[in-house]
Amino acid sequence: ETMLQQTRVETVVPYYERFLERFPDVYALASADSDDVFGQWAGLGYYSRARNLQAAAREVVDRFDGRLPGDADALRSLPGIGRYTAGAVASIAFDRPEPLVDGNVARVLARLLGIREDIKQTKVVQRLWEEASALVTGPRPGDFNQSLMELGATLCTPRSPGCETCPLRRRCDAYRAGDAAALPVKSRGKPPRAVSAAAGWIMRRGQVLAVRRPAGGLMGGLWELPGGDCEAREKPDAALRRALREGLGLTVQGIQPAGHVKHVFTHRTLRLHVFRCNEARGRVRRQGFDAHRWLAPRGLAALPHGGATQKALSLLDVSPRE
């Protein structure tokens, strides 16, 4: 359930299998090095999920003697587990009559019940959960919840819903009204904010400098090339010099542009300018980074890192097997 947040099933399956092979039980995950956990997660994105999953494993060991609780309220007390995940785990794994509402379920219920208001409104969200709670009171709640999700994934799809073969069409308000494809009503979110940043490939005595972001926030706990965001009307090379001076206490010489990469996050679009730096003077004094390492050129590619860093390393023609 944690891996499936914001990620499709077919993408998750191989990661799930490798993750369980590496961490076969809650004790193995709780005691693992965080870099190892991020390394197994690399490629799935939304890395806060991995950080929260390990934090939850540690609480399960400390608070629940290594046994995941089956009660939804207890599950929601664990890091990273919200209302949906608690309902899914409680109903599917423990056969508890707990509701769940994800995108598929919300779409099914909006069409079935003829809800023609913005499903992002608080009152509509609350109604969807109330309706889901009323429906899941019968036998086999886990199977029921999974059937709702599967219906939304296979027939009651966002576009071109398969109404003629849907088993609920005779009870469906949207089918009778002929407007299933127009539901659910959703307000448009804000477009991603454009952000520019600069990063440097800094070599010293045959080794490259890597830094790790703090655990909290975007890409927390992941390794990357040192640098920072560009300020308003600041040129990328000037931004890199400033960021390295302020964040690491380093002065760089011989900056050469290697190109730029683009990476889209949920709420922002990043344009990352990448530079090769021939010389860096000073001793590393971190401000805003959690850790740093001087590594062999291929070493950073072997550490857990995010999509933007992967693109930067590809631009620099660096890989773990270099």
**Catalytic center residues:** 1
Kindly give the interhelix angle for 83-94 and 141-154, rounded to the nearest 10 degrees: 120
Tokens at 110, concatenated: 């909006």
Instruction: Determine if residue 204 is left, alpha or beta; phi over 0 gives left, psi from -120 to 50 gives alpha, anything else beta.
Output: beta
CB 274 within 8 A of CB 312: yes
Beta strands in 112-206 (DSSP E): 193-204
| Angle between helix 103-113 and 122-135 (nearest 10) | 90
Helix (H), strand (E) at residue 19: helix 9-22
CA dist., res. 193 & res. 271, Å (int) = 11
> Exposed (0-12), middle (13-18) or buried (19+): which is 126, by Cβ within 10 Å?
exposed
- How far apart CA 213 and CA 221 sit, in angstroms, is 5
Question: Is 296 in contact with 209 (CB distance < 8 Å)?
Answer: no
